[in-house]
Amino acid sequence: MGMEFVFINVKEPKDALQLAKEPEIRSHVARYQWRNVGNRQSPKRKRNAAVSICMGVDCCPAWYSSSDSETDSSNSSNQSSPVSIPAQLGGLRVDPFRSYPIEFKPFMPVLVDHYLMDMAVDIPELDQPGNKGLLRTRWFPLVMSEPALFLVIMLLAASHYASVNDHTADTKLNLLSLRCEAVQAINDALEHQQSDRVSDALVGAIAKMGSYEAMYGDMDNYSVHMRGLWRAVELRGGLATLGLNGLLRRIVVWIDRNAAFLHGSALYFPGAAFVPGQVLPDPNPGQFLAIS
């Protein structure tokens, strides 16, 4: 049976690509439309922790596949519609040895392939002149080093995959479950930090959860993560201390600027540039919505 998918703030990311090509005067109209979509769809949920946004144990059902039994109707109100992932046909551009940073799940190869081929694309603001493909060559190895960051990327990949594909195949993934797993992994990693110096991978995980909420969640959740991100960067000593030869800094600034533009919200890193002393380019909301 087909599934209907409803996403907060973004229904058709490909439409945003076209919007981004329109004259600059249309950008304000686009921002207003995106904000109205979010306001019409999902009531805001209260959060009472600095980083965690999980509503409790019941919001984190285990991952499941199509071979699992149907969900009890009494619990259906706590779950989002599952994403259908096609059965693997072979030839995926992923690690055949399944050396993922978490326990293997059937959906992982498809989502990793989708992320690498459709989302980790060349972005001039992130790559900078003379470079290409840094999201694949520098960022993704970091993703594979930390369970929390990997789970966040899988969440983004699953959400984007669901928005651009038909959902008619075998393996199913519950987005709400994956979202809660990702948040819990961030909280666990922060709790087990050996010092107050948050690692690059955890900074990346928090930043990407912020981008997820800006695209598919709500601004209360976005603010929770961005406040946590600001605190993490402060503990590191500022944006200049982030690793990957400046790429992580640019990812943080890119998320902050594009989310603020789309929602008309305040910047969490005002005055920050992709490269110190460099003039900032205009926001790129179309690319942000389609792949962030």
Q: Would you say 174 and 91 are in contact if contact means Cβ atoms under 8 Å apart? A: no
Q: What is the pLDDT of residues 77-131, one digit of tens each?
A: 344 556 665 554 444 566 666 779 999 988 899 999 999 999 999 998 899 888 8
Residue labelled with tokens 């922060």: 190
The pLDDT tens digits for 139-192 are 999 999 999 999 999 999 999 988 887 654 444 568 889 999 999 999 999 988
Is pTM, for the whole model, over 0.75?
no
